[in-house]
Amino acid sequence: MTTTRLSGLYAVTPELADTADLARRVRAALRGGARLLQFRCKTADAARRRCQADAVLAACREFGAALIVNDDLALALAVGADGVHLGADDGDLAAARAALGPRRLLGVSCYADPARAGEARRCGADYVAFGSFFASATKPAAVRAPLRILTDARQDLDLPLAAIGGITLANAPLLIEAGADLLAVVSDLFEAPDIAARAAAFTQLFSEKATS
């Protein structure tokens, strides 16, 4: 598995039918400094999902980044990804931990639910994700999470914390200040006019936090 520090920009892929365009955008994000990337694809058939996952994995290997597959343990294992990210309806966490083994990453969506985060930790999660913190075009109906959930989780859990949902370069500092180790970003990254520059700007936020 690629050695991964669970901190910084967590790039989450958009839904794109064009695999070449997806790979181009992913490479731009990686060129800008993203070292953790989640392949998220809800609408494609199995063949295209596999093709896109292979393409994204190749880009991650080129840049020394880790690939996490969203919601599909079987696909993550099939392509040799570095881990899987599971939501509430995506299978048993303990079984996923066992299938992944000790070297691959398990991330868990916890929405605005500290109890689920505690359960994820007990099942061997490597990080937990909270959100949506802001209005999100990707998940417009998502339950909103308060910033304080990050602050409380920082005290209660010894796990890296990911924030997700409507994150932009403008509101990202609020989440980092509240305790987020990872910022999971879709639209504000992959729809930026210069994806590499936007990735670099997100990455710089964490550098500034480390030196403040």
In this structure, what is the dihedral angle of CA atoms 24, 25, 30, 35, given to the nearest 10 degrees? -120
Q: Where does residue 174 rank: exposed (0-12), middle (13-18), buried (19+ CB within 10 A)?
A: middle
Query: Token pair 């040799």 is at which residue?
Result: 80
How many other C-beta atoms lie within 10 A of the C-beta of residue 70? 20
DSSP 8-state symbol, 1: -
- Rounded Cα gap, residues 143 and 36, in angstroms: 25
Residues in CB range of 25: below 8 A, 6 or more apart: 13, 14, 16, 190, 195
Q: Which residues are annotated as catalytic?
A: 40, 109, 139
